[in-house]
Each structure stands twice: as structure tokens, then as C-alpha cells.
Structure 1
Amino acid sequence: MSEGSDRRARKKAATRQLVLETAQRLFDQRGFEAVTISDIAATADVAVQTVFNHFATKEDLFFAGRTPWVEAPAEAVRGRRPDESPVAALREALLRVLGEHVAALADTPQRRMVTTMAASPALESHERELNDQARARLEDALLEAWSDGGAPSRENVHLTAALVASTWMATVRTIASEARRPLPEPEDAVDRARQAVSLAGRVFDSLALALDSGASLQR
């Protein structure tokens, strides 16, 4: 990369970060629905089109950098150790992400994020869309992992991958949503995270056992 190209890349990244920080600060201060793209552009001192050059929607601005759970499950399956099963890697990743999310409710930025989301049907709808993206990516990763055999069900690998992805992601979403309603006091967030992880772990173990039992019946 030439010096000029490198400079342009740095400037572009700096502008993106400025827009993102400005937007999320305004969302915290005024609420998501009350802030427009024009407000963000004016406060950041950039053109409206500049905002859209970096973020397609206002919802993308709100969630940017705040959704590790969208990529983490699929990445865990693809990046697992050679001696680790896809289901075991998935279990550990989801428990980690769930625990971190709930424990972070002790922190002011996470509490503001949750409060802002709860007041916005648009954000709650977009979160459901992100959950669907996470489920679809996980399903693809499981299909890849089981493409050479080793799937719990040899009868219908596609259906098995779809059921595992849907059930596991729905479990995490449900437990995470319930853990933040009502929003815990900061000093209680760690205990609530521990409870959420414990419950999720028991559910995941039951699901894994059911998968193993199904595989045994087909042998």
C-alpha cells in the first residue's frame, strides 16, 4: 500500500470511528428514536452521506461493536481444537458470551444500551434480525464441520444442523433476555451472570445428551 493510500485508509477509519462514537453518545443521551442521521452528521461535523458511507442504517450504528454473539458461535465451531467436537466448542463459546453479556450489566455503558433497546421497538426488532443472522451462520458452520461425517444424525445432516443452531441460539437469547429484565443492580450482575450460565449449561448438556442418544440409536 502506498503512503497516500495508507493515509486515506487511516482517515476513513478515523471518520468511521468519529461517526460511531457520536451516534452512540447521542443515543445514550436522547434515546434511539429521538436521534436522526442528520443529528449525528451535524454533531460529528460530517455530511449525511458520509454517515451512510460507513453505516447503512441507524440500527447498524447502534449495534456496531456490540454484538460479539453474532459471529462467536460459528467462529467457535470453525476454530475448535482438532480433538474437540463442534457441539463442545459451541457450548463453551455460548456460555462465555452469555456470561460476559449478563455480567456487563454492572457497567454503565451496557446498562444504557439495554435501557435504550427496551424503549425502542425498532432496536428490539433489529436484535431479532441479528439473532437470525447468528443462527444462520452457526448452521452453516455446523454443516461444514459435519460434512465429512461425525454428525449426530446421519439421516438428515441439514435438519440436524438447523435444529441445533435454532435451539441453542434460542436458548441463549431467552436466558439473556430474562437475565436483564428487570435490569439488575450493578452489584447483583455477577451473581445473575453465574445463574444464567449455570442454567444454560444444564440446558446445553441436556441437548447434547439428546443428540448423542439420537446418534446411538442410528448405529
Structure 2
Amino acid sequence: MMGVREDKKKQLQEKIIASARELFKVKDFERVTMSQIAENAEVGLGTAYNYYASKEELFLLAGGTSFIFGEVLQFSQPMDSPKTLIDEIIAGFNQLAEIEKTSWRQSLSSLTKAAEKKPAFFLELVAIDHQFVAKVSNALKELQEQNILSAEMNHEILAELMYSTIFTSFLFYIYAEEQTVTELNSIIKYKLMHLLTVTS
């Protein structure tokens, strides 16, 4: 069981992350400060820095991938076809695209430095990725059990391939100023459908 100290720490971290997420959704990255995040979370600035080294770290953990992959990606529809799975993924993933491209670029450029100072930070991001892969893998397994996808297919490996496809497409979107969210959706949908068609 979690002790009182650990429980309080977890609650504080959740408050800070929720505060950061709220601010990053309504303000540009460069306009958000750690002071604002702490004030919005109703914690001291020192407390915020005690758990998170920078707003870049919080952006990636709260405003970035965990917002979708770790928490929001919940399949609301029964898995009855590959198209349903892809539509659910894209619907959740679109929330990442609501954040300005410049914010993503600034934050990702700080990722290497943050990981060098705090290796555990990189592991936290990897853990978030694993959550996404696990959810997709379970959905693929469900499709296999309904004989919609081939039982010979390794659903865990396919989920990793789907994640890689989505991630690389999103990275290109971030740095391709002219690409729209609609175009991004079409690209991801086409690639994922191709993957699932080949393996079905």
C-alpha cells in the first residue's frame, strides 16, 4: 500500500501536471511560466521545481504525449474492425495537434538536454509510449479473437509498428509548416490501414 508521504507526493504531482495541461491548452508555450503553473496548481514555486525541472519537462509529460497516450486514449467503441481502431486512435491523437507546432518544436529541442540532466525523465516518456502500445496491442488482440485479424499476427509487434508510424508522421507534421491536421490524419489513416490490411 502507498504510504501517506507517497500519497501526498502523488497528489501534488497530479495537481502540477493538471495545472500545466490546462495552461498549455489555452496559452502558447513561450507564454507559460513555471510560476503560473505553480500558482494555478495552488502550490509553491519551489514545490513545482522540486518535482519538475522545467516547463519543457512538464509540457512533454502533461501537455504532450501523456495527454493522449497515457490517459486520454480510451477506446469508446467496441473493436469490430481495423477502421474503428484507427478512427479511435486518430480522434485521440488530434488533441496533440491542437498544440501549436512552434510549442512542440521548442519543447522537443529541450528534450535531449532535459534527459541528460535527468535520465529518469526519458524513462518516464518511454513508459508513456509503452502504455499506448499496450492499449493498441490489446485492441488488436480483441480483433484477432473475433477472427477479424489473422491469429498468426504478433499483435504486440504490430502495435509497436503502428506507434512508430504515427510518431514519425507526427514529427514530420511538426516541422512541415504547410501540412494541416487534415492532411496528417489522412496520412496516418492510410499508413495504418495499409499495415492492418497487409497483416490481416
Q: Residues 40-189 of structure 1: matches in 2 within 5 Å?
A: 46=44, 48=46, 50-51=47-48, 61-62=58-59, 63-67=61-65, 68-71=67-70, 75-76=74-75, 79-81=76-78, 84-85=80-81, 87-102=82-97, 104=98, 107=100, 111-121=102-112, 125=122, 127-143=125-141, 145-146=142-143, 148-150=145-147, 152-155=149-152, 159=154, 161-182=155-176, 184=177, 188=178
Identity percentage of aligned residues: 14
Q: CA RMSD in A?
A: 4.4
Q: Is the contact between residue 176 and residue 196 of structure 1 (CA under 8 Å) also seen in structure 2?
A: yes
1-side partners of 2:187 and 2:84: how far apart?
A: 18
TM score, norm. by length of structure 2: 0.60
Deviation at 1:174, TM superposition (A): 0.5
1-side partners of 2:63 and 2:128: how far apart?
A: 13
One-letter amino acid of the structure 2 residue matched with residue 154 of structure 1:
A
Higher Cα radius of gyration? 1
One-letter amino acid of the structure 1 residue matched with residue 62 of structure 2:
A
TM score, norm. by length of structure 1: 0.56
Q: Is the contact between residue 139 and residue 162 of structure 1 (CA under 8 Å) also seen in structure 2?
A: yes
Partner of 1:8: none
Partner of 1:210: 198
One-letter amino acid of the structure 1 residue matched with residue 108 of structure 2:
M
Deviation at 1:206, TM superposition (A): 1.4
In structure 1, stretches of 5+ residues that fail to align are 1-11, 213-219
In structure 2, stretches of 5+ residues that fail to align are 1-10, 116-121
